[in-house]
């Protein structure tokens, strides 16, 4: 279940990056431009409100940062899930009974109805 959720998050990350495309790079360049020009120079190119333009441009930078944070957390979660899986597998190899999840409860193989195991 965790693996499926992680895969879904990775799909969302990829889709988010595709949707942003080159916008974060362009946004950085636009920010430099806006900060380097005077109010008069900006008005000459049709930008009457520097502050609202900067806020609009920052949205793509914020989205990129959020996607980066989501990707980092997803990688951390995947690592933790894999470590847990490896620990459980090692315990099973040492004799821990097989565990199943049925109706959101952990059940050992001995307590599990046969039709639940095969189905």
Q: For the chain, give the number of residues.
A: 119
pLDDT score of 103: 75
Range of the domain at 102: 2-118
pTM of the predicted structure, to 2 decimals? 0.68
Number of domains forming the structure of the chain: 1
Could you give the CA distance from residue 87 to residue 24 in angstroms, rounded to a whole number?
Answer: 41
pLDDT score of 119: 47
Q: Where are the alpha helices (DSSP H) in 1-119?
A: 2-20, 23-36, 39-44, 50-93, 114-118
CB atoms within 10 A of CB 60: 20
Q: What is the pLDDT of residues 74-106, one digit of tens each?
A: 999 999 989 988 998 888 788 777 667 777 777
């Amino acid at each position: 279940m965790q693996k499926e959720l992680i895969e879904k998050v990775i799909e969302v990350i990829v889709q988010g990056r595709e949707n942003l495309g080159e916008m974060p790079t362009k946004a950085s360049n636009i920010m430099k431009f806006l900060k380097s020009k005077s109010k008069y120079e900006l008005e000459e190119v049709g930008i009457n409100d520097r502050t609202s333009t900067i806020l609009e441009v920052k949205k793509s930078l914020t989205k990129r940062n959020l996607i980066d944070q989501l990707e980092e957390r997803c990688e951390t979660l995947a690592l933790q899930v894999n470590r847990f899986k490896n620990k459980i597998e090692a315990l099973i190899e040492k004799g821990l009974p097989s565990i199943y999840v049925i109706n959101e409860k952990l059940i050992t193989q001995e307590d599990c109805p046969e039709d639940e195991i095969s189905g």
